[in-house]
A and B are shown apart, each in its own frame.
Chain A
């Protein structure tokens, strides 16, 4: 059964794919987080204190 899974690629050929998945993952997370925090920083000065009950 594991024969079907036997890597048709050598480890060195696999490495780019592995790295790519980590880069895409962390990059995607980073991008989303950055844009969210940037938006927060941009609009916060305009929002009244009482509308930010977590502070």
Chain B
């Protein structure tokens, strides 16, 4: 069975589980929305909110990513499914790509919702000229986040007491995505006079990040889920 076939099977399995259990739609999305509201409570200033809207969207994404990753691997631990897959000789690279794909799909849905909320709650404005930049930013950032999340999720899943390790390991690693995606999104929104052209170098960074972790993750995932 080729790696791609394994990846597709696992991705569809994860998405099917989500469709049936609706944990992301019923729990994670509301959490993300709540985070956006709490930002408004904390940063009690409409002008400030509009200015920092891009950063808040990505922050909320990162916090929700932690929850999504926990969930993605909790479904594996329930019946020792991950171990069973390994024992059955399924290539870890396929598992990695499949779970990353499913995670990316869920992240994408989450980000669209957060973006809409930012437009509504923070009066963020998306210039038409920035639309392309915005879409590519989201694609590049989501890919990178999905790869990193799957990789470290594999390690932090499993035995008790590990869930707390995930934020500590992951958040420093995704800092470049936070910085790059926020700057590129600011350029797409036209915040603070940023022009679209300023966003493209950051896209370069995001793409490099996604490519590096995609490749490395494919090879390293196996050693991290070994119990």
Q: Do chains A and B touch in the complex (CB under 8 A)?
A: no
Using a CB–CB cutoff of 8 Å, the interface residues on chain B facing chain A are none
